[in-house]
Amino acid sequence: MENFLQQVINGISLGSIYALIALGYTMVYGIIKLINFAHCDVYMLGAYIGYFCMTSLKLGFFPSMVIAMLVCTVIGVLIEKIAYKPLRNATRIAVLITAIGVSLFIEYGTMFFVKANVRAYPEMTGFLAKSFAVGGLKITAQQILIVISTIILMAMLQFIVKKTKVGKAMRAVSLDKDAAELMGINVNSTISFTFAIGSALAGAAGVLVGIYYNSIDPLMGVIPGLKAFVAAVFGGIGIIPGAMIGGYFIGTVEVFVSGYGNSLYKDAVVFAILILILIVKPAGLLGKNTKEKV
């Protein structure tokens, strides 16, 4: 039982990270029906920005995470303005290919500047270096921080989407972009704001992953990004609560496969879940199948 509960704790920690990344995927898809594969590389940039803040600027964890979120916000908006906005009326396949191209550009552009070496994140000190034993379970301060940070960021996101004017604009654009524009909503600004929020969450996830796994590299966003995409699809892509549920589910499944089976199979199991959900319920757990007239 202790081993089972320990795996649950580890799964919640990992799932929190996947949920933060998945929120970026699902928000952008909900607004403009785009799968932004460059999102996982914004997460990678967030990890590097946090790393340089901690090592070069000698800042603490919290200031580093805030700076990473702010810089990633700017990067996300620039990506939308430069790469996606000119293709607003293009075919979906053209935009999808562009997203893959932007992803590769960021990955290998980063590799050019910082090299392909794996870098070790600075060791945490003070409270973040502590671990606690609770009834035979080991809970690290970093795991507590990851879960609390994720809950706070998700709560802030829900408040923005449900209670603010820009959140109402996001929901309106998601339902009907043309009608929202006729009602006086600035669609371009709303889309940019969506990219900004998603990129900020990805930046936070990058720093949290850095302190959790203690290593970063230019290709670190590829597999976690794909798993976060699976989480978004599982919960119902375009639905914010679905991304949260999917993130925690995928994180928990991965940890249990590693703990009770073989860690070599954890990626295969996650992508098998993607295939299964697309066969059984393509709209996702919280999604609804919509019929279109031909």
Per-residue model confidence (pLDDT) at position 294? 47
Percent helix, strand and coil across the chain, each rounded to 5? 75, 5, 20
Read off the tokens for 212. Answer: 């959790």
H or E, element range at 140: strand 137-140
The C-alpha atoms of residue 136 and residue 106 are separated, in whole angstroms, by: 43
Question: Per DSSP, which regions of 51-177 are E strands?
Answer: 119-120, 131-134, 137-140
End-to-end CA separation in angstroms for the chain: 54
Per-residue model confidence (pLDDT) at position 254? 93
Count CB-CB contacts under 10 A for residue 96: 15
Report the alpha-carbon angle 280-281-284, nearest 5.
145
Tell me if 46 sits within 8 A of 203, measured CB to CB.
Answer: yes
Quote the DSSP letter at residue 220. T
Which residue bears the tokens 């191209």? 101
Amino acid identity, position 95: V
3-class secondary-structure state, position 56 = coil
Read off the tokens for 225. Answer: 């990004």
Helices 39-55 & 2-32 angle (0-180, nearest 10): 120
Tell me if 43 sits within 8 A of 203, measured CB to CB.
Answer: yes
Domain boundaries, given as residue ranges, for the chain: 15-221
H or E, element range at 215: strand 215-216
Quote the DSSP letter at residue 81. I
- Burial class of residue 278 in the structure, from the number of CB atoms within 10 Å of its CB (0-12 exposed, 13-18 middle, 19+ buried): middle
Q: Residue ranges of the chain with pLDDT lower than 50?
A: 294
Helices 222-235 & 240-260 angle (0-180, nearest 10): 120
Per-residue model confidence (pLDDT) at position 289? 62
Read off the tokens for 239. Answer: 């639905």
The C-alpha atoms of residue 271 and residue 250 are separated, in whole angstroms, by: 10
3-class secondary-structure state, position 176 = coil
